[in-house]
Amino acid sequence: MCLKMRLASRFCPLVFLSFLSFASVAAAQHKDSDFGVWGSVTLKKQFVGGFSGSLNCEIRSDSNVSNIALWWINPELKYKFNDYFTAEIGYRYSNVDRSDYYEQAHRWYTGGTAGMDWGPFRLTWRELIEQIYYTDRPEGSSGRVVSYLRTRLGIKLNVENMPIDPYFDVENFFHISDYRAGEVGIMRYTAGLRIPFGGGMHTLNIYYRYQQYFTSSPDDHILGLGYVLSL
């Protein structure tokens, strides 16, 4: 077995055991928690040069999978400058559950991802600025427009001929507008597996996510399931 495969075989169990231990401790410390399932389908297309586009549809449940909390449609455009940096811009049309109806929301975002290979690993750092506009709230009211700076650090195995791609990332949502400006709103911790098949044309993404809120909202334990079709 080559060095990269030996490192991979040691890295995977260590990351997932550490992550599950963290999630168990976090759940014990935060009595109020919820469980949901998030499912998504994404269509990707490579264009000329470094341009690529995607269309993502996602639906999210909460209240222990008894309620549809959110669903959206999200077109996105990316440009890959080189192996180290990619820029992105996108728009998301969402429907958010408000108990007795669904509120429409518009989200715009732009950002970039820097990445580098380190042995058998791929390290990434993404910065994203996004603004969410909620349509049913009075003009000028608190919470009508919410803006975040999102910082995500990630690590994944990048081993040739390996049938799965394990990854782990942590993401911070930092408020840059509204009455909570300057505060951390959400922390996300995600461990997952991407499983390519069909010559890389298809990819399944399975992950567990612990989402911590710095408000009275219950923290989330999430099972995520995604499918990507690359054209």
Distance of CA 195 to the CA centre of its chain: 17
The whole-number pLDDT of residue 121 equals: 92
User: Is the domain covering 3-230 a CATH 3.30.450.20 domain?
Assistant: no
* Residue range 67-73: mean pLDDT, rounded: 96
Type of residue at 69:
A
Residue 79 has pLDDT above 60, yes or no: yes
Q: What is the pLDDT of residue 1?
A: 46
In the chain, the amino acid numbered 112 is G
The residue ranking higher by pLDDT, 15 or 55, is 55
Q: Is the pLDDT of residue 20 over 70?
A: no
Q: What is residue 19's predicted lDDT score, i.e. its pLDDT? A: 53
Q: Positive or negative CA dihedral for 124, 133, 62, 74? A: negative
> Given a cut of 70, is residue 110 above it in pLDDT?
yes
112 contact partners, CB below 8 Å, separation of at least 6: 85, 86, 87, 88, 126, 127
109: phi then psi, degrees, rounded to nearest 5: -150, 155
Count other C-beta atoms under 10 Å from residue 186's C-beta: 19
Burial 217-228 (b: 16+ CB within 10 A, else e): ebbbbbebebeb
Would you list the domain boundaries of the chain? Answer: 3-230
Bigger pLDDT: 100 vs 31: 100
The confidence score (pLDDT) of residue 96 equals 95
pLDDT 10s digits, 3-16: 444 554 555 555 55
Please give the pLDDT value at position 177: 80
Q: What is the DSSP string of 68-129?
A: EEEEEEEEEEEEE-SSSEEEEEEEEEEEEE-SSSEEEEEEEEEEEEEEEEETTEEEEEEEEE
CA angle, 64 as apex, 106 and 152 as ends, to 5°?
50
Q: Are residues 91 and 105 in contact, defined by beta-carbon separation less than 8 angstroms?
A: no
- Give yes or no for a contact between 176 and 207, defined as CB atoms under 8 angstroms apart: no
DSSP 181: T
Q: Is the pLDDT of residue 134 over 90?
A: yes
13: alpha, beta or left, given left = phi > 0 and alpha = psi -120 to 50? alpha
Identify the pLDDT of residue 23.
53
pLDDT score for 186: 92
- Per-residue pLDDT, 28: 47
The confidence score (pLDDT) of residue 2 equals 53
**152-203 tens-digit pLDDT:** 999 998 877 778 899 999 999 999 987 777 788 899 999 999 999 988 899 9
pLDDT at 98 over 80: yes
- Kindly tell me if the per-residue pLDDT of 27 is higher than 70: no
- Asked if pLDDT for residue 101 goes beyond 90, the answer is yes
Q: Is the pLDDT of residue 97 over 90?
A: yes
> pLDDT digits over 37-50, tens only?
999 999 999 999 89
pLDDT at 212 over 50: yes
